[in-house]
Structure 1
Amino acid sequence: MYNRTRDGHPTTNNSLEAYHRSLNTHFGVAHPTMWVALEKLMSYQKRIDNDYEEVISHRHPSITRPHSKWLKAEERKLACVKGYDRVANKVDYLRGIAHNLSL
């Protein structure tokens, strides 16, 4: 995980959490009936297919972009992670990460 973060690759949890939040938002209810769930899944699949086609055709998909404050926070955390080898006291390293977790 350290290497993935250091190299700027997304973490699995973030991707899965974003997908789960998107799916829950699309469903709009906590416990849909079987038929409603099937209809929602089919319409969600159409949306995913449309986004895929837009990416293939080099257009921007209809997804939201991260807010700039989150991008800046990620940049600060990445800078801390990349400086891991330069910090002699690992407690100071953890403090630096903790300070960058709060916005």
Structure 2
Amino acid sequence: MDLDDEYQTVLDYFEETYIGRLGANHTRRKPLFTIDFWNMFHRTTQSLMRTNNSTEAYHRRINSIFQCSHPTLWVFLQKLIDEQYVTHADVVHIKSGQVPKSKKKNERFEKRLLHLISNPHQDILTQLDSIANNISL
């Protein structure tokens, strides 16, 4: 397939960074990031975190609590105390066996994704389409 230069630049970037450029003797050079570094298959099958979304979500939460860039010391301390109470209440709920709503949604997503990678479709395009559909649910 013949792609214009703009697409070829993107393909070259991915090959150099994640796959490794094909050398003259038909062997690949080491990529900038090895497959073990960026591939999430094993992390998915072992139900490990694949992103830092929880950290980003907490950062958004703190920003929404303060609702300003430079609070006074007293406002800052009061907001931290208020957040500590909320966090403590969450911990008490978790210890009592209650599952947070976001956790339930993530568990359903994780089960669907694990099923897709454990039982892959024969056709790669169908598999990719199924994964994409799972992500958009």
Change in CA separation of 1:72 and 1:48 when aligned onto 2, cut-off 3 Å? closer
Amino acid at match of 2:69: H
Please, which runs of 5 or more residues in structure 2 have no aligned partner? 1-39
Higher helix share: 1
TM-score normalised by length of structure 1 = 0.60
Cα RMSD (Å): 3.4
C-alpha change, 1:70 and 1:48, in structure 2 (3 Å) is: closer
Q: Which residue of 2 aligns with 1:75?
A: 111
Q: Deviations over 1:37-94 (max 9, x none)?
A: 3321232234334444x268x3257x841386655344322222333xx455544432
One-letter amino acid of the counterpart of residue 40, structure 1: K
The Cα of 1:11 is off from its aligned counterpart by 3.1
Query: Among the aligned pairs, what percent are the same residue?
Result: 32
List gaps (5 residues or longer) in structure 1. none
What TM-score does the superposition give when structure 2 sets the normalisation length? 0.49
- Corresponding residue to 1:95 among 108, 129, 134: 129
3-state SS in 2 of match to 1:37: helix
